[in-house]
Chains A and B, each alone.
Chain A
């Protein structure tokens, strides 16, 4: 079982719709979770991080964390063609351990927003 799992997609949504990206993780020691966006041939770009159960909103993006279910999601409202990219979910290690800086990534979900 992979430590962080994502549906590789592709996920295709029409412009203006809500895109829902999901991620599950196996390490209950993970304390924080990150969503990165990566355009083809470019570097991963941090969109949001979340470390408390519940929702965190930033503009059109909402991250959701459910530690009991070991589930993280990212909602993108009013999706735009420019949101088309690969979305990477990553888990951070226990902040008190040696590996506190280590991010464990999923394989990424390809999102396509069509006009």
Chain B
């Protein structure tokens, strides 16, 4: 069974630019989550999809972040415009049940 995949693995952009991160969950997993870890801090929850619907987006920091999940399959997280404080590692996770979230390798985002 293939794991959660994320693309790109690294992204370096300038402040004010737009970046789109992609996550492909494990096949058959209806639940998809986005988390973020900024330097020196703990991993923080951003949002949770169930199929194509946003179940919980309480962790989204502001309206510069837009997450979508087309047809309940892959998901994208767009940051527009990017700010310096958006730098960090963005993890995607998926699960069949709430007890076993499988994490992807993460996308390291650097905003200069």
Contact = CB atoms under 8 A, between A and B. Distances in A.
Interface in B67-112: 91, 95, 98-106
Contacts, number: 66
Interface string A25-54: 000000010101000001111100101000
Interface residues of B, number: 26
Interface in B17-36: 31, 33, 35
Given A43-B91, A103-B45, A98 B102 contact: no
Contacts of A107: 41-42
Contact of B56 (A2, A44, A99): A99
Nearest to A45: B103
A98 B56 contact: yes
Contacts of B106: 43
A42 B43 contact: no
Contacts of B58: 98-99, 102
Contacts of A2: 42
Given A43-B91, A105-B44, 5 more contacts: A32-B99, A34-B99, A99-B48, A101-B56, A103-B35
- Of all A-B residue pairs in the complex, the 8 with the closest CB atoms, nearest first, are A101-B48, A43-B103, A105-B43, A102-B45, A107-B42, A105-B42, A44-B103, A99-B56
20 contacts: A4-B42, A32-B99, A43-B106, A49-B99, A88-B43, A92-B99, A98-B58, A99-B48, A101-B31, A101-B33, A101-B48, A101-B56, A101-B95, A102-B58, A102-B59, A103-B33, A103-B43, A105-B43, A105-B44, A108-B42
